[in-house]
């Protein structure tokens, strides 16, 4: 297109469309902004915030506001070790009570539920004395756990294969070995309860 008119006068080029603001104010080498892309990103972010807020979950890392209590049914025992499920379940209840963020209540009155199953219980030999008598053992407990939102039928947290290991010493007598093993089970249960409560409550 010629910039020289029929009478010899110079013509200014037509303004380029697409600038934000007045075309005359656009710099010579400026690149037009794509406002539609910026708007799309903003809309997607807004939709995410609205969705999370509407579902009752916060972006700030807190438990959902409607969860004030928890039920802890006795864990299922998939091992051959009798009574270990009661010891661990009691330790989890005590850990929730000590933490204080959720009240432990019956299942029909709870906002959430922590349930689990014990899938492994192993006692391994660690060390021997000069007469080849066992002097230390290692207890390993493995379990699967789930933390559910009962009000909105959702899964808050789940972990497969959670494992806790405790070493214990023995004096050599069978009665002492049994007593030390029972103490090791209780020690492992306390640690399991603490970890489960930390995962279920403090991780949000």
What local confidence, expressed as pLDDT, does residue 72 receive? 97
Buried b (16+ CB within 10 A) or exposed e, 28-37: eeeeeeeeee
Residue 12, pLDDT score: 53
Rounded CA separation 115/91 (Å): 13
Q: Residue 174: pLDDT above 90?
A: no
Query: Are 76 and 174 in contact, with CB atoms under 8 Å apart?
Result: no
How do residues 139-151 score in pLDDT, each as one tens digit? 899 999 999 999 9
16: which DSSP letter? P
Map out the domains of the chain as residue ranges.
33-62, 69-202
Per-residue pLDDT tens for 16-55? Answer: 444 444 555 555 555 555 555 555 555 555 555 444 444 4
- For residue 27, CA distances in Å to 12, 33, 37, 133, 177 come to 16, 13, 22, 88, 85
Sign of CA dihedral 57, 63, 68, 74: positive
Indicate the pLDDT class of residue 173, thresholds 50, 70 and 90: low
Q: Which residue has the higher pLDDT, 25 or 133?
A: 133
What is the spatial distance between Cα 167 and Cα 188, in angstroms, rounded to a whole number?
Answer: 10
pLDDT tens sequence across 65-124 = 899 999 999 999 999 999 999 999 999 999 999 999 999 999 999 999 999 999 999 988
Top CATH class of 69-202 equals alpha beta
């Amino acid at each position: 297109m010629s910039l020289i008119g029929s009478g010899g006068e110079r013509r200014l080029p037509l303004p380029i469309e697409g600038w934000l603001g007045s075309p005359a104010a656009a710099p010579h080498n400026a690149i037009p902004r794509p406002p539609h892309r910026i708007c799309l990103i903003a809309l997607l972010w807004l939709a995410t915030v609205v969705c999370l807020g509407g579902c009752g979950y916060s972006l700030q890392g807190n438990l959902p506001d409607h969860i004030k209590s928890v039920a802890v049914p006795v864990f299922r025992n998939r091992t051959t070790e009798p009574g270990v499920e009661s010891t661990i379940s009691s330790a989890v209840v005590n850990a929730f009570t000590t933490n204080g963020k959720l009240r432990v209540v019956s299942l029909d009155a709870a906002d959430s539920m922590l349930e689990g199953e014990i899938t492994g219980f192993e006692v391994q030999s660690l060390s021997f004395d000069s007469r080849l008598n066992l002097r230390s053992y290692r207890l390993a407990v493995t379990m699967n756990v789930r933390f559910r939102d009962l009000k909105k039928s959702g899964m808050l947290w789940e972990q497969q294969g959670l494992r806790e290991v405790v070493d214990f010493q023995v004096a050599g007598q069978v009665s002492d070995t049994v007593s030390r093993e029972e103490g090791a089970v209780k020690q492992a249960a306390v640690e399991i309860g603490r970890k489960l409560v930390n995962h279920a409550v403090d991780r949000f």
